Structure 1
Amino acid sequence: MPPIEPRSAEPARSWAWPKRYEVRSQLASGGFGIILRAFDREAGHDVAVKVPRPVAVDPSHLDRFRREAAIVSTLRHENVLRALASDTSGEVFLPHFVTELIHGVTLHHRMIHDGRMAFEEIAQVGAQLTEALAAIHRAEVVHNDIKPTNVMVDPNGKVTVIDFGLAVAATEPAPRQAVGSWAYQAPEALDALLTRHRGDPTTAPTPSTAADVYAAGLVLHELTTGERVFDATSHEYQDVRAAAGKDVPRLSEARPGTPPAWDGVVARMTARDPADRPTAAEVAEEIRGIAPPPPGSGTASRTASVGLTPVSHDRSQSSAPAPRRSDESRTSPRVQHEPGKSAALKKDRTK
């Protein structure tokens, strides 16, 4: 991916809106951008259009926006948000990029309403999530903000990784303040934050593919137990220190009856030492070896042979839904899963 040339000195100005897109509603708004639902007159269907917040608020937002658009346009995988078009030059039109409109809900929304998932369903989510990450990493990109609000699932069980607002090219220096959600940070990132708190302002977490795998492991752990592993919701010293000193509990302890194979996968993903974590591609291959066939594949279930005990998805037997945290209350989408209607793409990330 070519480097993005900074244009932070650009003044705020008025841009024309591309007539190809008829805005129908605002789906989400965050600290760095706004997501709109629009009708694409040429394609004949609805799409999601992301635009930056006015550069008068913070000129660096436009640089970040251009970086995100460039990264999304390089990614091609069925489980990764698909870019359709973009124009971030700002020469005539308001800088924008267009993506598919996802029909579904975020994993966070799903857990809020349904609690923890059955093992078979979690394995399907995990396989698709890690396959998406493997494709992102092959493109030399680090997502840098894997969490339940950035993973969507549609009514057919298809998973899509979204929101590349903090993504960085693995070959490029990480932009300042490119730190994902605190509760899903890897130990090495938390250690860097602690060093900064102790008086070294030049120290910052370095985004890495291993950190993405760790965050994905925390997501799968949360889906299995119905509870978030860490409560860190800010960069306050005490929150970071508390999270940095904790190990991820084994699923076999947190949810009795967890299949040993699944317990082992998540434990390796969340190893404290990044050198001990498998790659996303290795995890995807391992999960596919223990997961039942995808929905609608027509293949007989393999759960008995691989040790994934079928679990009825009965809300009366599920643990209490994951509580809404202070940071999620700002970032989770307001989505209503209604037949025949598109759900909101997601709530854009806020800082």
Structure 2
Amino acid sequence: MTRLDRFDHDLRYEIGFASECGRRADNQDYGAARVGRPRIDSRAGMVAAVADGVGGHKGGRQASELTVRSFLDGFFSLPGSLGVRQAAARSLDSINAWIVAQGRVDPELAGMATTFTALILSGRSGHCVHVGDSRLYRFREDALEQLTDDHVMGRGDFKNMLRRAVGMDESVRMDHSAFSLRPLERYLLCSDGVHGVLSDAKLREILARRAAPQQTAQDLAAAALDAGSADNCTAMVIDILDTPPAEAGELRDFFHDLPILPPPGPGVLVDDYRLDSLLAEGRYSRLMRAEDLRTGAQVVIKFPQPRVTEDAAYRHAFVNEAFVASRVRSPWIGEVIEQPAERQTRLYSVMPFYDGETLEQRLNREPRISYAEGAQLATRIARAVVALHRAGIIHRDIKPDNILLLKDGGLRLIDLGVARLPQLEDFAPQDIPGTPSFMAPELFAGAAGDEMSDLFALGVTVYRLFSRAYPYGEIEPFTKPRFGAPASLAARRPDLPAWLEGAIARAIAVDPAQRYGDVLEFAFEIENGARSGRPEAPKKTALYQRNPLLFWQALCALLAVALIIVLARR
């Protein structure tokens, strides 16, 4: 029994293995896993395999162990230029020929043969190589799926007799299938000593407990023995913890091939998503709240409008969001749920449903945000931006509309469709995105956007968070504004400390060289200031300064009363 944890080129998985003799005198099953070693092996990835020596024949154990060991060595020694299928077939052909030859020259090994089932992990893809009646299952989204077919007669008294096995014939015919890997799914490799006595419902029940892979493998073997299995019982469980990021070209090809169809309405079923209600409708997209019928999760689906069918920039936005989702895992960043290619039949993106409101919605209702709450929010928003910048991603549209305040107290920065990303070509110059009132001066001059322009937008957002206004005024699209001195924050919020206005002023400086070195420095300034300082007490100002109209109205009223008193005395 072994356990293996790996982090291999961003592919993270954990393996558990158990094999029991049961009522047999010896164990003719064999299982093992191997990881490609950099600078030693020709190929990368991981292979896990289970083999079951054909019972009733001499050399069953030798055949199963030899096949697994030789396949692991042979597969990783073949050039990486060979595809997985070709490399697997070449390895099995050599092993099959050797076993057949040994059975001919050694009477003790006559008729030796074995089943063989392997799971190969390579990048974001999984591959199954299969001969015989051992099985590979996938447990995904609480559903169990058998990925192999049993090569048995299937009828009458010989229904369990093998039609194919390694070493049975001069040539071996293997099955091969490929599929995408997804985080949090489980794979089960097992011999017929396990699946022959445990129903699919029982297998699913044990896998659904989500115990560690080693414990799950042991539970499966023990359950098979308890169910009366008279054969060896072998189980190998592989948990996919995380997958490598998607490549840019892969994403471009995927989204380019998906059709843009008229957006559906409530009650429609799309790829096992039931659309429940309309959340928002715009010129370019429709947002629908939906339920994933495979998992029961509440999600939000963004469908493009048909008018953008030929809009390359809009398709580019879908690539951007998917690219960010595959590379940035942060509690501050809105998630985009990656869809397996075999499920998605049209262009759309899927996001979790976050229960809350945008910062802009919060600003439009009373009471206004206090100093303490605002400082905390500003720090959290800055952390979200820092998470992107560390991944080399420029958001380019930071504003209150793209900041979600969750009811549980969390915060998410969303709408990454216009982000500037590494390894991806940018939008055409005429399509450079942004919201004018939050855009840095250099963007109006044609700059593509960088960390300094994101810092500027963050500073404007924090200014608006406290004042509900814009430091340089609201800027209309298709205009080229002139940036003078920003409007005073103290005039709108005299209850705020002076240092806060100074920090914001530096973040929104017209000259990028006058801004903070990065967003993290701005975040530290706000967080440190909030911890060490207190908001200044509101300064008492004369009524004339606060409300000149009320001052003159009150003065006139007093003069009128005085005049009446004087006249009454006369």
TM-score scaled by structure 2? Answer: 0.45
Which position in structure 2 is the counterpart of 1:210? 452
Deviation at 1:93, TM superposition (A): 0.9
Which position in structure 1 is the counterpart of 2:111? none
Which position in structure 1 is the counterpart of 2:522? 283
Q: 2:281 aligns with which of 26, 29, 46?
A: 29
Does residue 1:184 correspond to 2:438, yes or no? yes
Whole-Å Cα distance in 2 between the matches of residues 208 and 54 of structure 1? 32
**Retained in 2: the 8 A contact 1:11–1:55?**
no
Which amino acid in the other structure matches residue 69 of structure 1? A
Q: 2:509 aligns with which of 271, 274, 284?
A: 271
Whole-Å Cα distance in 1 between the matches of residues 327 and 357 of structure 2? 24
**Retained in 1: the 8 A contact 2:392–2:421?**
yes
Q: 1:147 aligns with which of 378, 381, 399?
A: 399
Which position in structure 1 is the counterpart of 2:302? 50
Whole-Å Cα distance in 2 between the matches of residues 142 and 178 of structure 1? 12
Comparing both structures, which one devotes a greater share of its residues to strand?
2
Does residue 1:223 correspond to 2:223, yes or no? no
Whole-Å Cα distance in 1 between the matches of residues 275 and 291 of structure 2? 6
Whole-Å Cα distance in 1 between the matches of residues 260 and 413 of structure 2? 33
Q: How many residues align?
A: 282
Does residue 1:308 correspond to 2:544, yes or no? no
CA deviations over 1:2-45 (Å, ceiling 9, x no partner): 43575698695669965332111222233433322111223322
Whole-Å Cα distance in 1 between the matches of residues 525 and 500 of structure 2? 10
**Retained in 1: the 8 A contact 2:337–2:350?**
yes
TM-score scaled by structure 1? Answer: 0.71
Does residue 1:248 correspond to 2:469, yes or no? no
Which position in structure 1 is the counterpart of 2:333? 80
**Retained in 2: the 8 A contact 1:35–1:48?**
yes
Whole-Å Cα distance in 1 between the matches of residues 413 and 270 of structure 2? 27
With over 3 angstroms needed to count, the CA separation of the structure-2 counterparts of 1:57 and 1:228, relative to structure 1, is: same
With over 3 angstroms needed to count, the CA separation of the structure-2 counterparts of 1:290 and 1:9, relative to structure 1, is: closer
Which position in structure 2 is the counterpart of 1:258? 496
CA deviations over 1:38-97 (Å, ceiling 9, x no partner): 11223322111223333764341223322222223322211110233235x699611233
Which amino acid in the other structure matches residue 187 of structure 1? P
Deviation at 1:224, TM superposition (A): 1.4
More RCO (CA 8 Å, sep 6+): 1
CA RMSD of aligned residues (A): 3.0
Structure 1 alignment gaps of length 5 or more: 193-203, 292-301, 312-318, 320-351
**Retained in 2: the 8 A contact 1:12–1:55?**
no
Whole-Å Cα distance in 1 between the matches of residues 424 and 271 of structure 2? 35
Deviation at 1:217, TM superposition (A): 0.6
Whole-Å Cα distance in 1 between the matches of residues 342 and 281 of structure 2? 20
Deviation at 1:273, TM superposition (A): 1.6
Which amino acid in the other structure matches residue 3 of structure 1? A
Whole-Å Cα distance in 2 between the matches of residues 141 and 120 of structure 1? 30
Deviation at 1:276, TM superposition (A): 2.4
Structure label with greater radius of gyration:
2
Whole-Å Cα distance in 2 between the matches of residues 108 and 208 of structure 1? 24
SS in 1 for 2:486: coil
Structure 2 alignment gaps of length 5 or more: 1-244, 263-267, 539-545, 547-570
With over 3 angstroms needed to count, the CA separation of the structure-2 counterparts of 1:12 and 1:85, relative to structure 1, is: closer
With over 3 angstroms needed to count, the CA separation of the structure-2 counterparts of 1:267 and 1:146, relative to structure 1, is: same
Which position in structure 1 is the counterpart of 2:556? none
Which amino acid in the other structure matches residue 184 of structure 1? F
Task: Give 1:320-339 correspondences, 5 Å limit.
Answer: none
Whole-Å Cα distance in 1 between the matches of residues 354 and 484 of structure 2? 35
SS in 2 for 1:283: helix
Whole-Å Cα distance in 1 between the matches of residues 339 and 277 of structure 2? 19
**Retained in 2: the 8 A contact 1:118–1:310?**
no
Deviation at 1:146, TM superposition (A): 0.8
